[in-house]
Amino acid sequence: MPTIDPGVFLRRLPLFSDLGDEELLAIGASASEVHVARGGAIFDRGDPCLGFHSVLYGQVKLSFISPRGDEKVVEILGPGKSFGEAVMFMDKPYIVSATALDDCMLLHVEKEAIFAELERSPAFARRMLAGMSRRLHGLVSDVEAYTLHSGSQRLVGYLLKDMPASGETVRLSVSKRLVASRLNITPEYFSRVLHDLIKRELVRVDGRDIEILDADGLRAYEG
């Protein structure tokens, strides 16, 4: 498989899109390709954080194991997404584990290169802060959903997140078990709500494909 030009890929990320060729060259020089087979560990909770990763292709699961031994999925990331930035600045070990859900190709950028660019460019520092602020906003929204919304409302919200119209199909990019964990509900509850949506003729399910039969009815669903 041919190697990629790290600078070309980094320029596609919002964080680096405005950097000049010289800056991209400096950061790209510290970047390395990481290939991980499906099911493989990218890093484990407690490992030292030496930089951050961006996904070129494949899907990555961020998760941790609860004291009861249950897996909790924190986030599922696809191409163009990055992870590990916040922990990189804290100079602490990873607080989650990262696992490849598919065969993955990642780009790992060393933190020393990022720190050097932060010292050189206030504009880059602002973009880095903005990116982490968006991630924080997403986490706060998750906490709000878990505390204020029922499990059925979280599932409906997940199906409607891209605002599909009646007749359109939502394809789950991962298994229903992983989606359930991401929504902080059990797989059994996920299946029970989905069956109720089918019974009410709000959706039609074919494997991972969920056809939205009645978008307005789905939005009004109370469970």
Q: φ and ψ at 19, to 5 degrees?
A: -75, 150
Q: What is the pLDDT of residues 42-86, one digit of tens each?
A: 999 999 999 999 999 999 999 999 888 889 999 999 998 889 988
Report which secondary-structure segment, H or E, holds 177.
Answer: helix 176-182
Homologous superfamily of domain range 6-147: Jelly Rolls (2.60.120.10)
Burial class (CB in 10 A: 0-12, 13-18, 19+), 142: middle
CB atoms within 10 A of CB 19: 22
pLDDT(3) > 90 = no
> For domain 149-219, which architecture applies?
Orthogonal Bundle (1.10)
Q: How far apart are CA 145 and CA 150, in angstroms?
A: 8
Q: Tell me the CA end-to-end span of the chain in Å, nearest whole number.
A: 49
pTM given for the model: 0.78
Q: What is the pLDDT of residues 127-140, one digit of tens each?
A: 778 777 777 777 77
Give the residue extent of every domain in the chain: 6-147, 149-219
Residue 165 DSSP one-character state:
P
Q: At what angle do helices 187-199 and 151-159 cross, to 10 degrees?
A: 70
CB of 165 closer than 8 Å to CB of 212: yes
Q: What is the pLDDT of residues 86-119, one digit of tens each?
A: 898 888 899 999 999 999 999 999 999 889 888 8
